[in-house]
Amino acid sequence: MKTKNIRPEFVTQFPAVFEQGVLYISEEFETAGHLCCCGCGEKVITPLNPAKWCLRKEGGTVSLSPSIGNWNYACKSHYIITKNKVVEAGQLDARKIAAIQRRDRRDMEHYVAVVAARAGQTPEKASVPIAKKEPKKSLIYEVVAFLKKLWKT
């Protein structure tokens, strides 16, 4: 693991070029991003919402849960970011990865349905891909922003 410690940086929008060892966090768009901690150079984007990752802040440090599994990248690295430290997690076999991906999909479908119900839409209308390159234009972020407004009132 090339990056053993990660530094949180709170931003509104991600920079075009990520720096190794920095966890960019956009609370406005509820997304975090970093370069894969193995050093392969891949950008890892982690949406921060109940169906994806949870960001915990404690005394200047951040933790992300659950673990980050880069199954879609060649490195297939798997690690946990806890209190700014990167802890290598065990390699998972293909069956476990498939199970996690199924669970992620279920969580996401549930989350989208809940958000859509609150927004007065049918789930079909709200189920758009979440991993768009430009978070600002992705419907899910608009829906999340809408949901935040609901929570505030």
CB nearer Zn ion, residue 2 or residue 113? 2
- Secondary structure of 89-129 in the HEC alphabet? CCCCCHHHHHHHHHHHHHHHHHHHHHHHHHCCCCHHHHCCC
Q: At what angle do helices 94-118 and 139-152 cross, to 10 degrees?
A: 60
Q: Under the rule (CB under 5 A), what is the footprint of Zn ion?
A: 36, 38, 40, 75, 77
Which residue, 85 or 123, has its beta carbon nearer to Zn ion?
85
Choice between 11 and 75, CB closer to Zn ion: 75
User: How many CA atoms are closer than 13 Å to the CA of 56, on its beta-carbon side?
Assistant: 9
Least Å distance, CB 73 to Zn ion, is 5
Q: How far is the CB of 37 from Zn ion (least distance, A)?
A: 7
Closest approach of Cβ 75 to Zn ion, in Å?
A: 3
